[in-house]
Amino acid sequence: MSSRIIDNPARTFRYTLELREDSTQWSNRLQRRYLNQLPDSVLFESLNLPNQMLSLNKALQGNHNSEIVLYATLLQDHSPKDDWFDIYEQTIQQLPLLGYFDLTENWIALAEPLNLRLRYMERLGEQQEWVAFLKSNQGVAD
């Protein structure tokens, strides 16, 4: 059974075993999904990567800016996987809007070495152009 799970292309299904690894991981998954609760920094650091990435995704979807910055800061040195590209892209898009250009550059550097399909490389290039545009126009509207 576990080999079928690992080989499945659906991201959340592929990480089912890790999300249910122990009571802490599973409890966090349930709280995030059904109660819309995001972990604090202490709990976040104790979670495995799938739970951390799904927490960041939930924060991005709900525009929870302080959690986005917190999670992005804590995750900026993780080992990247192309499974999470959509979350990387959303993070790269949101961070400069919050004024975190250096952190954005770290996330771009994290995503660049991934073995991405051409359309994902194009999307990453578009995000780099977006960040450059925001940087060059920083303070213009002030």
Please give the pLDDT value at position 5.
Answer: 38
Cα separation, 68 vs 64, whole angstroms: 6
Please give the pLDDT value at position 10.
Answer: 52
Cα separation, 105 vs 35, whole angstroms: 33
pLDDT tens digit sequence for 96-120: 999 999 999 999 999 999 999 999 9
Cα separation, 104 vs 69, whole angstroms: 10
Domain ranges of the chain: 1-75, 82-142
Nearest to 27 by CA among 11, 48, 12: 48
Please give the pLDDT value at position 20.
Answer: 84
Global pTM value: 0.86
